[in-house]
Chain A
Amino acid sequence: MTLTSFVRKNAFRNLRRSILTVLSIGFSLLLLTLMMAIWRNFYMEKGSEESALRLVTRHKVSLVFSMPSYYREKIRAIPGVAVVVPGNWFGGVYKDDKSGNFFAQFGTDPDEFFKVYKEWKIPDDQITAWQRDRAGAVVDSELAKKYGWKIGQRIIITGTIFPTNLELNIRGLFTAPQPTQAVYFNQKYVEEAVPFMKGQQGFYTILASSAADVPKVNRAVDDTFRNSPQPTKTETEKAFQLGFLAMLGNVKAFILSICGAVVFAILLVSANTMAMSIRERTREVAVLKTLGFTRGTVLGLFVGEAVVLALIGGIGGSVVAYLIGMGAAKAGGFAGALHVKVATMAVAWAAAAFMGFFSALVPSYTASRLGIVDGLRHIG
């Protein structure tokens, strides 16, 4: 036996209490890990190298307003712009979908689309096939897997915003680094079916020539259209995605306040448990001291015990969070933000250990200061 194994034995002395404490801390840590994962994925990840080179230009007021098609040529002329493609939200529903699951459909320009999304993988012959078929579409391979789609299959998307239905032929399957769960088709299809969409585009995705060009292009695009009837707002792909999130409200404050509540809850739960166990072991503390244990060692024993419990809860909670994140990442879209990195899990463990440590300080200190004479006389 060592002092460490003594701590471990003490931690599970009252098995039911330890399990309840671990569960309580574990649930809190599950939440904390997910919140940290969201925070990290939203606000700390820079995105891929390619993504950092991409900018999105939309109507200054809102994505629901469109911009003229000729903006594309004007943007293309700006120095530092390598490629620019239009994008249009179709917002239809898949006809054969019984589950009611929603996925995104975008109208774009097949000729240049994959020049902007260079890192997405798709065979060249499939791109060519898509370019040749006006009713062609490329779909995320994850999405195709979900619905069991094959190349050559026809899918029908019913319009909700636009008074038309899309009958699309699947010409290619692409694989993006992170699942997009999206379908891309030729916007000309919609323009022909819906006259008021002619000459209009929802947003433009720009690929800058180099990282240094990104801020310049960003400013130049908005300056170009500042005084036109349709002013623009250009932001990095990442910021554009975050914009959707910001619409929900003050997400940062929401996450922070939940984290705060969780941390306090863990501190209370853990301190409570330690206070109970220490109180029950008053007499034992006196015995240990009689055997020659110093105050410091006694303090260490109890603090260690709290850290052990908190760590087990933390590891359990974060592993469950990791599994949830893995499942969610498959679903793609914003659920992908739940993806938990190992580094985030490590932070969660450290947080758990720290909280265990701090929660135990006060009760353990009190126990370590208790006089031996009083401790030995303690009944109960």
Chain B
Amino acid sequence: MSTATVPNIATKTKVIQARNVSKVFTRDAFQVKALDNVSIEIAGGDFVALMGPSGSGKTTLLNMIAAIDRPTAGELLVLGQNIFTFSDSQSAKWRNEHIGYVFQTFNLIPVLTAFENVELPLLLTKLNSQQRRDHVMTALKLVGLEDRVHHLPKQLSGGQEQRVAIARAIVSDPTLLLADEPTGDLDSNSATEVLEILRRLNQDFHKTVIMVTHDPHAASYAHVTRHLEKGMLLPA
């Protein structure tokens, strides 16, 4: 199956359709039901906040959508595709093209500069170095870091690191932006900067954003807030 044939997603079409998705982790003798019959639909252009106590399955759900993990039961269509039928290399390509992922702990590569970190996903594309440079600079400008291009992660503040991570997530112009507690490790000023960027990406660039957070202030940036508890999605 080719991953390139995704139709242009008009706003308000369903980009995510999850039906009765369950995920059970088995570790030694224990079984943990991380997701329990979760059904959710998210429309293109939405900004969704996922909230819930620690261990409620938020990251697990995000991982499902990013084709990082597979459910034990249920069905999940992302951009109209049943991503669980993908092979490893197909889902890698899928993530590269359609998913931008932002981690709580930034996860920048320490030996690479801001520019190089952002360029990393583009190395997997057919773009030449000039095209890559243009994309990277656009992304860095968008997060307001065009003057920090040659800094290494350790020379940046936490907020700046997270902005580089967001630039990396959007540099390949994905449809979906998934953020797992993106402000969890930041002070409130930096958090606001990051949230503003996410809002801009949603409003001006029509990215569908799904953000996991504990913080009601962060959740207030979203159009919709959904709650998970013990793996179950509470009614909206």
Contact = CB atoms under 8 A, between A and B. Distances in A.
**Chains A and B share a contact (CB less than 8 Å):** yes
A291 to B, nearest CB: 5
B155 to A, nearest CB: 16
Nearest to A368: B88
B105 to A, nearest CB: 9
Interface in B135-171: 168
A292 B93 contact: yes
Nearest to B174: A292
Nearest to A289: B92
A292 B109 contact: no
Given A372-B69, A373-B69, A294 B92 contact: yes
A373 B70 CA distance: 10
A51 to B, nearest CB: 55
Nearest to B66: A290
B121 A291 contact: yes
A10 B111 contact: yes
Contacts of A3: 123
By secondary structure, the B interface counts as: helix
A79 interface: no
Nearest to B89: A294
Interface in B108-130: 109-112, 115-116, 119-121, 123-124, 129
A283 B107 contact: yes
B89 A295 contact: yes
Interface string A285-315: 0011111111111000000000000000000
Interface in A1-54: 1-3, 6, 9-10, 12-13
A372 B93 CA distance: 15
A12 B112 CA distance: 12
Contacts, number: 69
Contact of B101 (A9, A12, A290, A297): A290
B107 A284 contact: yes
Interface in B40-92: 63, 66, 68-69, 88-89, 92
Given A1-B123, A6-B120, A373-B63, A291 B111 contact: no
B112 A6 contact: yes
Contacts of A1: 112, 115-116, 119-120, 123
B11 to A, nearest CB: 25
A85 to B, nearest CB: 68
Contacts of B88: 294-295
Given A1-B112, A290-B68, A297 B95 contact: no
A353 B202 CA distance: 48
A272 B107 CA distance: 25
B30 to A, nearest CB: 16
A290 B89 CA distance: 12
A283 B110 CA distance: 12
Nearest to A297: B124
24 contacts: A1-B112, A1-B115, A1-B119, A1-B123, A6-B112, A6-B120, A6-B123, A283-B107, A284-B107, A288-B120, A290-B66, A291-B96, A291-B121, A291-B168, A292-B96, A292-B124, A293-B96, A293-B124, A294-B88, A294-B92, A295-B92, A371-B69, A373-B63, A376-B103
Interface of A: 1-3, 6, 9-10, 12-13, 283-284, 287-297, 371-373, 376
